Amino acid sequence: MIELPETYVLAEQAKQILLGKTIKSAVANHHPHGFAWYAGDPALYNEKLAGKKITGSAAYGGRPEIWAEEMRISFNDGVRARYLAPGEKRPEKHQLLIEFDDGSAVSCSVQMYGGMFAFENGSADDWYYTAAKEKPSPYTDTFDEAYFGGLRRGVKQTLSVKAFLATEQRIPGFGNGVLHDVLWNARLHPKRKLDTLSDADMDALFKSVKATLAEMRDGGGRDTERDLFGSPGGYRTILSSKTLAYPCPVCGGGLKREAYMGGNIYVCPACQPLN
């Protein structure tokens, strides 16, 4: 799933490789998918986008976005976007295919669910999009200790750390993927309740949110995700399905996976004690 670091990586790659190209055609919903979402009628995407020049890109929370003059093409977390070089074979099944004037293309496919929204700038009224665009990103200085403390004071103190960080779009783009390494670096168990955290715990958590997310972004995204060229990111996850069989890099103990709040959590029970 696309989260904060991958959003940034995809937006940067899109800027580098697509800027200045003109959209020749756009085909949306070619292979209908029950959980693929569009802005308005997908049959109108070609009319909306053909002839527009790529003028930029942006990373809002977990929403990478491509700018095509006054149009915006915004993706959400379940979309897999791939750049296709001139002459490269197009996938048989896709939910959005954008062809450019130089023969290159971007194809998008949806795994479980995903949205590919093409709309005129300023016309989106989707709450998730607005939150992603307007709330301070951990990648900015506005997201400082005072802001983070305010987020914490604004919720029930019986919430778990996982629920605090990764639900309700409190931190757009922060999901169940980046969560594990952020909490492992802070030595906090995802099930810890906020009211059990000391000032030192909160300090460690804030620092880890900033530093871990930056490391993931600077590494080109997590190694469990793919970039615009289909390559896995260069950030090596410490806790993920990829590392579960290995010992904890700090204490050498076994890592653990368990289901919690609609997803798996990965922990080192020794480094991240619950009590």
Residues contributing to the site for Zn ion (CB under 5 A): 248, 250-251, 268, 270-271
**46 or 272, CB closer to Zn ion?**
272
Position closest to Zn ion via CB: 248
- Minimum CB separation from Zn ion for residue 256, in Å? 10
Judged by beta carbon, residue 166 or residue 239, the one nearer Zn ion is: 239
- Residue 272 CB, shortest distance to Zn ion, in Å, is 7
CB nearer to Zn ion: give 85 or 244.
244
Q: How far is the CB of 179 from Zn ion (least distance, A)?
A: 17
CB nearer to Zn ion: pick between 9 and 267: 267
- Nearest approach, Cβ of 252 to Zn ion (angstroms)? 7
Q: Which is nearer to Zn ion, 136 or 269 (CB)?
A: 269
The 3-class SS string of the chain reads CCCHHHHHHHHHHHHHHHCCCEEEEEEECCCCCCCEEECCCHHHHHHHHCCCEEEEEEEECCEEEEEECCEEEEECCCEEEEEECCCCCCCCCCCEEEEECCCCEEEEEECCCEEEEEEECCCCCCHHHHHHHHCCCCCCCCCCHHHHHHHHHCCCCCCEHHHHHHCCCCCCCCCCCCHHHHHHHHCCCCCCEHHHCCHHHHHHHHHHHHHHHHHHHHCCCECCCECCCCCECCECCCCCCCCCCCECCCCCCECEEEECCCCEEEECCCCCCCC
Q: Which is nearer to Zn ion, 85 or 251 (CB)?
A: 251
